[in-house]
Structure 1
Amino acid sequence: MSTGWVAVGVRSTAMRRRRLGPEAARALAARPSLTAALSELASGPYAHDVRPDQTLAEAQRAVVATFVWNVRVLAGWAPRDGVVMLRALAAPVEALNIDEHLRRRADPAPPAPYQLGALATAWPRLAATTDVQGLRRVLEQSRWDDPGTDDLHDVSVAIRLSAAGRIVVDVPNARAWASAAAALVLARELAYRAAPPGARVRFLASRALGPAAGNALTLQELAGALPRTARWALADVSAPEQLWRAEAGWWARVDREAAAMAGRDAAGAGALVATVARLAVDAWRVRAALELAARGGHVTEDFGAVA
């Protein structure tokens, strides 16, 4: 094993300590106000971006920004093939930037984009575009691919499926997670959109899930067509209102499997991928905890699906 991967293993072990963890997240969610929660959070592992005076939206963005910063730190230690994996794993965050960029004109106070640095695929060029047609031209010339539509919702769906497809290709350790994530994206489209997905969305879904799943027209049809690696994502879903629990279950499974992966691989690709996964899960959990604290800290049994 190269010295670069050994260094990544050491750094990954240290980085996994930069998590709040489920018990602390539950305690954070029980705080009586957002101010109380942020006063605590701003001095912990999210202190890089979280501040006590932030609004809920600002604090939730700051949690993700801290996650991005940690992944960028990991990239500074990773060998070239590790950076390729990290760039793919950061693609969902770049997708958020793209999504917000498309809606920037309608937002009187748009948030600053997440700073991806060397983890960006095409963000500097995408950020310079002024309309959806220009953005599509840049996407087509990059690994994102053309979403095949000017409809903002469909562009958002297409880039999320494209991000999942890239992880399937570039990050073997995260292939099953990415396939299952693509299944959940497509499931929401089938459950809540009146029109069937467009040809380009179906194509991008097929790259992550296979043609049978990509061409499914109903939630039930999709569940039956998923490949074995992704079937678990919709195993307990028979109606659209169950999808939120399936999404929470996705995060919970990623966390369990990432913990096991880190235990098996102390200084290799598994350690790197597991660290990013566990940091991402923690950020998702903390964002949910902040929202509950902002509502007065009334933690319900449903938080068990989160923490």
Structure 2
Amino acid sequence: MNADWVAASVRARAMARRRVGAGTCRRIAGRSSIAEALQDLEGTGYAGSGEEGGLEEAQRATSDAVLWQLRVLAGWLPASGTRLVRAAAAGLERDNILDLARHLDGGPERPEHDLGALATAWPRLRGATSREELGTALRRSRWGDPGEGGPANLADVLRIGWLRELAAAAPQARPWAATAAALTVGRLVLVDVSRPSDRLRRLVRPLIGDAWAEAADPAELRAALPVAVRSVLNGIDRPTDLWRAEVRAVAAVEDDAFRLLRTAMPGPSVVLGAIVVLAIDAWRVRAALAAADAGGGSEVLDAVA
């Protein structure tokens, strides 16, 4: 094994050990205000998150904290690891693109995530001055054709594109990507009751096929998915309960990531495990901050405990 992977794996495991953890997140969720919740983050990797703003600023700051960890980790990786960490960071590049699209549609301008060398297309996309110009720039980038439709379609197309890139960069992530794709289209056809765009169907097909597009309820959706993915919908009888499947999927992915951290030899698998553990830790922190901002208590965190 390349010595650089050994050093990167040691660093990745050390980063993962500095996560906030489920217990602290439950304590944060029990606070009665965002100000109180932020005090619990002092001394962690999220210290200072959104001190001058409200919930949105605090949640964005947690994402930026993970991005900073990715950028640090990238400095320890051999050249062969660049694609993996860039694929992980592409989830935040997607957020930048969506924020820009909303701004071009008349929404507020939001600060971008500073991707640095982990950017794939953002330096060429950020200068777009209209949705048409942004669409043209996307077609010429690794993100590809955004397809037809409004902001919701763009969000789903970019999400599936990101999942495919992550699965291509890390084969261990392919089952996770397929499950996430199934939940994305489940929400689209069962909750939003929306017809998927042709572009979205083409992107999803390599992960889960396209029989799902005609599903009318969770049972039909489950039957339409590949066998390896169906278990994510076990016990889900109503579209309004899909969030429970999403939370359960997060917990399963986290278990897989911890297994990689514990058992894998130094190499890409350890780094992937650390990245996922850190990302899910930030997801928990964001959920906990939202709960505190609402007055305390989180059904989502209780479900994933």
What is the CA distance between 1:35 and its match in structure 2?
0.8
Give the equivalent residue in structure 2 for 1:2.
2
- Trace 1:108-187 onto structure 2 (pairs within 5 A): 109-187=108-186
Return the offset for 1:42. Answer: 3.5
State the partner residue of 2:254: 255
**Greater CA drift, 226-235 or 89-98:** 226-235
Write the distance in 2 (CA, Å) between the matches of 1:107 and 1:65. Answer: 25
Correspondence list, 1:213-232, <5 A: 213=212, 215-219=213-217, 220-232=219-231
Q: Is the CA contact (8 Å cut-off) linking 1:86 and 1:119 kept in structure 2?
A: yes
- TM-score calculated relative to the size of structure 1: 0.92
> Matches of 1:132 and 1:52 in 2, distance apart?
33
- Please give the alpha-carbon distance, in whole angstroms, between the structure 2 residues aligned to 1:301 and 1:56: 18
Asked if 1:274 corresponds to 2:273, the answer is yes
Q: CA deviation at 1:51?
A: 4.4
Asked whether 1:12 is paired with 2:12, we answer: yes
1:25 paired residue number: 25
Shift of 1:222: 3.1
The equivalent of 1:264 in structure 2 is: 263
With over 3 angstroms needed to count, the CA separation of the structure-2 counterparts of 1:301 and 1:194, relative to structure 1, is closer
Measured in 2, the distance between the counterparts of 1:29 and 1:192 equals: 27
Distance in 1, matches of 2:43 and 2:53, equals 14
Match of 2:58 in 1: 59
SS at structure 2 position matched to 1:103 = helix
How far residue 217 of structure 1 moved from its aligned partner, in angstroms, is 4.2
**CA root-mean-square deviation:** 1.9
- Secondary structure of the 1:289 match is helix
- Distance change (3 Å), C-alpha of 1:35 and 1:69: same
Cα distance in 1 between the residues matched to 2:132 and 2:30: 46
Please identify, of 187-196 and 95-104, the stretch whose mean Cα deviation from structure 2 is larger: 187-196
Cα contact 1:164–1:208 (8 A) shared by 2: no
Q: C-alpha separation between the residues in 2 aligned to 1:141 and 1:103?
A: 20
Residues 18 and 109 (structure 1), Cα distance of their counterparts in 2 relative to 1, 3 Å cut: farther
The whole-number CA distance in structure 2 between the counterparts of 1:152 and 1:291 is 24
Tell me, which stretches of 5 or more residues in structure 2 are unaligned?
A: none
TM-score (norm 2): 0.93
Distance, in Å, in 2 between the alignment partners of 1:302 and 1:144 is: 31
Does the residue aligned with 1:228 lie in a helix, a strand or coil? coil
CA distance in 2, matches of 1:195, 1:301: 27
Query: What residue is the counterpart of 1:97 in the other structure?
Result: 96
> Aligned residue for 2:286?
287
Distance (Å, rounded) in 1 between the aligned partners of 2:140 and 2:108: 30
Answer yes or no: is the 8 Å Cα contact 1:35–1:53 preserved in 2. no
Report the number of matched residues: 304
AA of the residue aligned to 2:165: R
User: 1:2 is aligned with what amino acid?
Assistant: N
Q: Check conservation: 1:26, 1:289, Cα contact below 8 A.
A: yes
Q: Equivalents in 1 of 2:179, 2:129: separation in Å? A: 33
**2:302 is equivalent to residue 304 of structure 1:** yes
User: For the structure 1 residues 42 and 52, does the alpha-carbon distance in structure 2 shift closer, same or farther, using more than 3 Å as the test?
Assistant: farther
Change (3 A) 1:218 1:86: farther
Shift of 1:193: 3.3
The aligned amino acid for 1:186 is V
1:224 CA displacement: 1.4
Change (3 A) 1:170 1:302: closer
Secondary structure of the 2:17 match is coil
Percent identity over the alignment? 38
Tell me, what secondary structure is at the counterpart of 2:262? helix
Q: Are the equivalent residues in 1 in contact too, given 2:181–2:207 (CA < 8 A)?
A: yes
- Is 1:51–1:59's contact at 8 Å kept on the other side of the alignment? yes
